Copies of this chain bind each other. A is one copy, B any other.
């Protein structure tokens, strides 16, 4: 575990010395936890709140799940002005690959709203989406945010329910307005 932590911390220290607002990454092993998983070729799943994400790598991840492309200039701005940016990485040796992402807007006091939750298709069905969301919720909770919201597409409503999210509590409805 030490190796990966060192690797990752060093990476963060170089990349975003000032903009990382939260404590260091948490590290979780997945799948094979045999002794060999500590060897160099082993795989780790690493979570981070660093903001200095390669926008092309993020675009590739979003492409993989079929999202419409968005101007990178706006994506950059959105990341800069998100309260929380959470990323999930597959780490192998000294290489890392972005395999999950989520971010949240917030007033830093009462409310946070989670946007752009994505897990690469190759890594879906392993419970990693849930782990990523728990990481996000832990971070938001540590900032004393008491009301966490999101807008869920129909096919992921049950996924969020298993994490404790409720639809329309006390009849409260999520509503959308688009420019016309």
Contact = CB atoms under 8 A, between A and B. Distances in A.
B105 A147 contact: no
Contact of A166 (B75, B83, B164, B175): B175
A168 interface: yes
A51 interface: no
A153 interface: yes
B151 A175 contact: yes
Interface in A121-161: 137, 141, 146-154, 157, 160
B154 A177 contact: no
Interface stretch (A1-9, A32-40, A106-114): A106-114
B146 A172 contact: no
Contact of A172 (B75, B166, B174): B174
Interface size class of A (residues with CB under 8 A): 35 or more
A15 to B, nearest CB: 21
A17 to B, nearest CB: 23
A56 B175 CA distance: 30
A70 interface: yes
Contact of A149 (B74, B151, B153): B151
A173 interface: yes
Contact of A81 (B109, B154, B165): B109
B178 A146 contact: yes
Contact of A153 (B146, B172, B176): B172
Contact of A173 (B78, B164, B168): B168
Nearest to A110: B78
Given A113-B113, A151-B172, 13 more contacts: A70-B110, A75-B109, A81-B108, A105-B107, A110-B115, A146-B178, A149-B151, A149-B177, A150-B177, A157-B175, A166-B176, A168-B173, A174-B175
